């Protein structure tokens, strides 16, 4: 039996959630955070309309790559300089990266999703 791409996404989501659950049981935050970020991309891919294939692949992949890069930089900064001796805009570097990098990216992801997949269906509505 041939599998549909949406079935493969469901299997990927199951694997990522299982990995995050194992990370919770082992108290390893990296095994929780990184699969969760990838799961966000899988969920965006599952919720996209089937009519536009290019954006349907580019947006979830872009979301996952962008969030993984931001959180990877945050992880590297916190490991290399745990005391955060320098300041960026008056904040510790990890806090500045979160406030000025990760938080705006999360807001832009929702906006990009809404603009990309908004429907303009006015058929069948009663005015």
Q: How far apart are CA 77 and CA 45, in angstroms?
A: 30
Residue 73: per-residue pLDDT:
83
Residue 12: per-residue pLDDT:
87
Domain residue spans of the chain? 5-116
Answer yes or no: is pLDDT of 107 > 70: yes
**HSE-up (13 A, CA, CB side) for residue 9:** 17
Task: Give the count of beta carbons closer than 10 Å to the beta carbon of residue 64.
Answer: 19
The 10s digit of each residue's pLDDT in 58-105 is 777 777 788 888 888 888 877 766 665 677 777 777 778 888 888 888
Answer yes or no: is pLDDT of 112 > 50: yes
Q: Tell me the CA distances in angstroms from 5 to 11, 44, 50, 57, 87, one per residue in order.
A: 10, 14, 11, 11, 46
Cα angle: 22, vertex 78, 91; to 5 degrees: 130
Higher pLDDT, 22 or 33: 22
What's the mean pLDDT in 11-21? 91
């Amino acid at each position: 039996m041939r599998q549909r791409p949406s079935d493969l996404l469901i299997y990927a989501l199951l694997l990522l959630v299982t990995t995050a659950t194992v990370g919770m049981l082992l108290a390893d935050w990296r095994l929780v955070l990184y699969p969760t970020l990838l799961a966000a991309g899988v969920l965006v891919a599952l919720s996209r309309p089937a009519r536009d294939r290019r954006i349907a692949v580019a947006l979830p992949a872009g979301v996952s790559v962008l969030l993984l890069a931001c959180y990877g930089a945050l992880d590297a900064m916190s490991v290399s300089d745990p005391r955060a001796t320098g300041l960026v805009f008056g904040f510790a570097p990890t806090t500045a990266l979160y406030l000025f990098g990760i938080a705006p990216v999360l807001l832009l992801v929702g906006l990009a999703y809404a603009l990309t997949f908004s429907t303009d269906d006015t058929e069948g509505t009663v005015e």
